[in-house]
Every structure is written in C-alpha cells, then in structure tokens.
Chains A and B, each alone.
Chain A
Amino acid sequence: MTQLRITNGRVIDPSQSLDQVADLWIRGERILGIGPQPGLVADRTIDAAGMIVSPGLIDMHVHLREPGREEDETVATGSAAAVAGGITSVACMPNTDPPLDHQAAAEFIHLQARRAGNAHVFPIGCVTKGRQGAELAEIGGLVEGGAVAFSDDDVPIVSAEIMRRALEYCRMFDKPVLSHAEDLELTKGGLMHEGRESMRLGLRGMPAAAEEVMIYRDIELARLTGGRLHFLHVSTAGSVELIRRAKNDGVRVTAETCPQYFFLTDQELRRFDSNHKLNPPLRTQDDVQALIAGLKDGTLDVLASDHSPQAPEKKLRELDQAPFGIVGLETLLPISIKALLEPGHLTWPQLIEKLTIRPASILDIKRGTLKPEVYADVTIIDPAAEWTIDVSKFASKSRNSPFDGVKVRGRAHAVIVRGGVKYEQIR
C-alpha cells in the first residue's frame, strides 16, 4: 500500500482537540497516524508548510439534482464541485425527480457517486412518500440503502402529526429529521424578507415569523417525542434564540446556517439580481449579528452551503419568475473564512469543527476526523491564498452565485479523498 506523508502543516482536528504542527501519515485508503512514524518511508510527501491540515470538510446540505434535473447538476458534477471547494463528503437532499423516497433511489445515489469517484455522497431520504406530507416513506428501507437523515427538504411537513410520527419513528434508527422551517401560508407569493427593503421595493415579503413559528412547533415536537431534530439554513435572530433555549432545556436539537445568511442582507435585492433570491430569504443586519452570535456560542452547530444549482436560463429571468437558490459548494469555505474567521468571530479550530466533526456526528458517519483507521479524507487549506471568486471557473454545472467577484483569502490547496489526491491547487 502506498504511504503518503503530509509534513510541516498545522494539523487541526477538533474531534481530538488537536492543533499542532505535525506530520500526518496516510496508508492506502486510511489514516495511519499523526506524528513521527519511525521506520516508515513515504512514497510521496506533500509539504504543507504554512498550511492547515484539516479532516476532509463536510457539507451536509446540498442538492445534486440527479435524477431528474441533470441540466442543473449531476452527482458527478456536484461532487466535483465539492472537491474543488475542499469538501470531501456531502449529504444530498431528496427533492429529485423521482424523489429519494425508497431504498433503490438511495442506492442509485451511492452508485453514481462511486462511478464519479469524487467526494463521498450520503443520500438524505424523504420523510414522506413522494414528499407529499401524507404518509411516512419506507424509512427502514432507506436506511438499508444508505440514507443518513430524513427530510422532505423545501416542502415543509405541514402536518404536525406527521412530523411528530417521523421524529418518533426515526428514533428506531437513531437518524435525525432535518427541518426546513417555513409556514407556507405566511410566505405564499413571497420573494424576499418582509421588512423595510420589501416595503421600498414593493416586493411581496416572507416574514421572519414564517420561519420562527415552525421552529417553535418542531422544537415542541422534538421535546414531546425525544426524536433528533436538525434545523436547516437557520436565518433569523428569533430562530437562533428559540434553538438556544431548546438546547438549554435538553431537547435533542441541532442547527446549521449558511454563508449567504451571515454575509449578505436583504439590501442586495435592490439590484434585482435573482442570485439574491433565496428561500429562506436574505434577512437583515440584526439577523446577521444574531447568527454570528449563535455560531460563536454553539447554538448553531454546523456550516453548510444549501448548494442549489439552477441552470443559467432559469435564473436570468424577472425576479418573480426566477427560481430560488444559489450554488455554494465552492464558496462555503472562503466566505466562511471571510465572514467569520477574519473578523475574529471564530478561531480556525472552531470553524473547522463546524465543517467536520459536528456534521459528521449529526449524520452519524465515520468522517470529519483524522483518527487512525478512518478513511483518509483530508483538506489542506492555504490560509494565505488571495483570490477572487469567479463563477466561470466553477466545477459545478451551474453559475448562480451571489459571490461572483468577491475577493477572498484562503482556499483548498489539496484535497484527499480515501487516500487519493483528488484536487491540487498549483502554487
């Protein structure tokens, strides 16, 4: 088996509370160990002087569009975009056509990911059959097929009874239910956050309360059932506060937010560019502050991208015609660095924790760590690399990013998946 040595790097592995300059050794597909390995000879050595050596990053909220919308993205292109962004594992949402609501569909994702040979891809199964919100999907079969969590994604589960039963039933497999918290009646026809900007622009708003009433409902259902609940793309100050209180009460709840929600605000809509049309919508500066506070105190566990590719012809439309969503796999790391690390809100170990061991433990996957014997997924980050985000260079099939042209510092220098170097930035 080939032996790979990554030397001189600052190894940060929050799963072992590790932050030191050391050698990382990989043998074949797996981690061998950290530190000197007497008598071992490396087949290849990567000099990581000045770099950060992190467990491979995880993005637990992406849309790969396959099957059904291959014009936007495929498992192959999406997992290539992941690797280009320094991400070695993704969990993909089941809002495909047909939806991932049965075992064969979950196994298809694994098959396509293996064929592509880029990042690891973990399917998220539907909570209900056809994402119709009426009957539970065959969750046991989906678990058998490799589903790591359950969600009806952007179709919120309207029935509190179904949500309750889903939380209860998933306990049997110790899988989390991922909640897209949105009261659909309050957001009907809405294009942006409801507030001063929507008032000025005359655009129909989506009030913060539409997210918060569902966050509150789902917390109470998790309290009632003891089920594991994870909130997707938390975007409001009120939501952060509700989750903070639930955690203090011991409810089994975790939460994520995305770079767009702590880096941009609803003022961007003044440009009428559909790359700022998101669901949940971009909120206000007060919400941005609350999200950052929630990331700092651990209320928000995870950074995820909500990667939502849309082919260019779909986004180049009038604002009310264009679909929601932005791509994010290739900007998750640099925008998080810019918005959280550079201003001093988070340290490197805190940032990396939210991109590695936290999502890994929520999904209960053996990833996000550099402990011996796990698959050797490693992201080597060059924290000094200065570059400008350029959508035309994305590996993703889609280009719908609001971050085009943003100057950033820090990017993946080399990405190793299962012991193989999948991506290397030429210095």
Chain B
Amino acid sequence: MPSLPRMTWDRPHLLGLEELTRDEIVTVLDLAEHFTHDSQERRKKRANLAGKVVVNLFFEPSTRTRMSFSLAARRLGADVLDFSPSGSSTSKGETFIDTAKNIEAMGIDLVIVRHAATGAPHLLAQHLQAGVINAGDGAHEHPTQGLLDIFTIRQIRGHLDGLTVGLVGDIAHSRVARSNIHGLTKLGAKIIVCGPPTLVPRGIEELGVEVSHSLDAILPRCDVINMLRIQFERQRSGLFPSITEYARLFGMDSARLKKAKPDLLLLAPGPINRGVEITPEVADGPHSAILKQVTNGLAVRMAVLHLLCGQPEEMA
C-alpha cells in the first residue's frame, strides 16, 4: 500500500463547498486519488482512523451515501455507529440537538449528518465538540457528492479548467447543484444550469453560472452533463404540468444524445428516476459514469475522513 502524502488541512468540519478554497478542494481530490488504489486492492485496511468513532446520523433516507461513508470509515480503521430516527428517541419527541449531544456523550469523534433542514449540520457544529460532515442538508449543500462529481470529471477528462458542465433539471431543490456550482466554478469550469423556470431559482446567475431553459440548445456545447433528480419530496406541487412533459423537455434519451459532443460525459448523482431524467439505455450506455461516481465516492469520503480526523501515516 503506498503511503499517503502529507496534506495541510485545518478545518474541523466539512459543511459545504461554498466556504472551501480552490486549494482545499484540490487537496481533497489529490488525496482521494491515493485512496482509489485502496478501493482496487479491496480488503486492505489502513489504520489512520484507528480508535476513532464515527457516527452516521441520517434523518433522511439514504442508501449509497450512508453505505459509502460507513465503508470509507471502516477502511480507515474507525468504529462506525449508525443512527436512524425511526424507533429512536426522536420518535419520542427528543430534539435534534439533544439526540446529537447524547450520542456525542458516548465518545464520538466525527458526526456525519443528513437532514431535511438547511443548516442542521451547521447547528450541530455550533453545539458539538465533534467534527461534523454535511451529508446533505435540505436543498443547500451536499459537499461530498459535489467533490465526487468533480473528482470523476477530473479523473476521466484529466482536467476541469475550460470544461463546460451542464446541470440539468431541478436546480431549485437540489443540494447537489449548489455544491457542484461552488466547487466547479472555483476549479475553472463553466457551468450552465438548465431546467424549467419554475425549477431554476431567480438570480442564480450571480453564482457565476449561465441559465438556459432548453436542453437541446445547450447540449452541443457541453463536455459534461449532470442530470439532477426531480426532488419530489422537497417540492410543492404544480411546478411542472406532468412527468411526461418534463421528460420530453429535459429527459436524456438516445435521440437527444445524438446532438451532444461524441465524448460527452454523463453524470447523475442518483438515485435516478429511470425514464424521467434519463432513459435506461443512456444510463447504462457508454457516456454514463454513474457507477464510476459511486466507486469514486468511497475514495473521496476516505479522503475527507482522513483530513478531518486521521492520524498521519507514521503514527498510525
């Protein structure tokens, strides 16, 4: 196993990509690069997080993010606790902060939190001694998803500078969109957000992005398209007339794909609504990096965990 480079990092929490500098993002990406080798070598475990306790505090359902964090922490030698709100004291009326404080009192080094409320991880960071990783807060940020999207693009295309990335779909309710925008713009990519005006918040141009309402118009210009999921659980009703009409205007199918650059890279943060945002043959086709993203997610999360509370190699 190759030894890890020394990295400079002084943040106790990872709450969003908006507050990270370009250099900090590159630090995570470079470290993740080392961990991709670990993923390929399977069972080999490192000991950088030996003796550390990491808790998954997920107040919203999640499959891949939660599993990815758990596996990443175990690969680094940490003990991992899982908390789910159903059947716990939150269903008896305990507040979010009390729940977290009680769990912390058992001796926790790092809390990975997902919550429907924007700012919930920030609230924990203010009230806990432990480090906090935001695994998705409301429609605000999902920094590790943003990082793994960026990592995947850099891995396949070799660079980010000068690339045009289309973020397509439900921008308004997407935390993945915000993390992508903050991260990608810092690394020199050009971003076009594309969706119906009811799903694109007004004034988003000031984040340094171009706005379009026609996927067909932007498709030939894009090097990468990230197809965002319709956040049915976060929306109010009536934002578009029907799923059929949405799929016709903003869904990715083989016919539409013909208008794209031949080397278009297609991402989707998942879970995808198959047949809505993306048809099965495209999702499983040659442009798609969807499964690659999942694999890279592990390496990126190992990098983040290591930066926040890992021991340097020689001490491990």
Contacts and interface: CB of A to CB of B under 8 A. Distances in A.
B175 A317 contact: no
Interface stretch (B161-169, B197-205, B253-261, B298-306): B197-205
A202 B118 contact: yes
A15 to B, nearest CB: 46
Given A199-B204, A202-B175, A318 B123 contact: yes
A161 interface: no
A267 B312 CA distance: 39
A318 B96 contact: yes
B178 A320 contact: no
A242 interface: no
Interface in A175-195: 188-189, 191, 195
A319 B118 contact: yes
B207 A318 contact: no
Report, as a range, how many residues of chain A touch the other chain.
20 to 34
Contacts of A271: 122
Report, as a range, how many residues of chain B touch the other chain.
20 to 34
Given A202-B138, A316-B95, A317-B96, A188 B236 contact: yes
A266 B97 CA distance: 24
A321 B97 CA distance: 12
A318 B206 contact: no
Contacts of B97: 316-317
B115 A318 contact: yes
A320 to B, nearest CB: 4
A319 B236 contact: no
A374 B271 CA distance: 71
Main secondary structure of the interface of A (DSSP, over half): loop
A354 to B, nearest CB: 34
A173 interface: no
Contact of A202 (B173, B203, B206): B173
B25 interface: no
B75 interface: no
B85 interface: no
Contact of B119 (A188, A196, A198, A272): A272
Interface in A265-320: 271-272, 313, 316-320
Contact of A320 (B95, B117, B173, B175): B117
Interface in B44-85: none
A393 interface: no
A210 interface: no
B236 A202 contact: no
Nearest to A185: B236
Given A319-B117, A320-B118, A199 B140 contact: no
Interface string A200-211: 111110000000
A202 to B, nearest CB: 3
B120 interface: yes
A313 B95 contact: yes
Task: Kindly name the residue among B141, B175, B202, B204 whose own CB sees the greatest number of chain A CB atoms within 10 A.
Answer: B202
B139 A203 contact: yes
A272 B119 CA distance: 5
24 contacts: A196-B206, A199-B201, A199-B202, A199-B203, A199-B204, A199-B207, A200-B178, A202-B139, A202-B140, A202-B141, A202-B178, A203-B118, A203-B139, A203-B140, A271-B122, A272-B118, A316-B95, A317-B97, A318-B96, A318-B115, A318-B120, A318-B123, A320-B138, A321-B96
Interface of B: 18, 95-97, 115-120, 122-123, 138-141, 173-175, 178, 201-204, 206-207, 236
Interface of A: 188-189, 191, 195-196, 198-204, 271-272, 313, 316-321
